[in-house]
Amino acid sequence: MNHVKLQWGNTLKYIGCLFQINSCRVDIRQQLRKYHGNFNNIMSVYGKGRNEIAAVQLIKCYCVPVLTYACEIWQLVSHLSSAEYHKVDVLWNNSFRRIFDSCWRESTQLVYSFIVVAFQ
């Protein structure tokens, strides 16, 4: 292009998703960072004595879409590895633990099940 050599990159960005060139694997670190940023913004506003259900609703509206943006492409092009699924699972569990002020050893499955049923 105009006698300038183009640099070959290791990633390709398509619809906001980063793909590794050699393996076509999806790099979800960007979505995880955006989720953390949105989540931390919401939690910093709520502080102590917050309304947990309102926090969950805000997380559902502002954080989950960031995390799951273009996830259909992940399934079509390349499946996430078990380590990447584990990262998303840990992220989700830690979010619930922080909202409900629970210990890291406590399971969030019961709380999650209650919220899923309550918001349907």
Closest by CA to 115, choosing from 75, 46, 35, 55, is 55
How much is the pLDDT for 39? Answer: 94
Establish if 5 belongs to a structural domain. Answer: no
Establish if 45 belongs to a structural domain. Answer: yes
Establish if 80 belongs to a structural domain. Answer: yes
Domain that holds residue 66: 11-118
Establish if 1 belongs to a structural domain. Answer: no
Establish if 61 belongs to a structural domain. Answer: yes
Residues 76-85 have a mean pLDDT of: 76
Supply the mean pLDDT for the chain. Answer: 79
Establish if 52 belongs to a structural domain. Answer: yes
Q: What is the rounded CA–CA span in Å between residue 78 and residue 12?
A: 14
Domain count across the chain: 1
pLDDT tens digits for range 32-70: 999 999 999 999 988 766 788 888 889 889 998 988 887
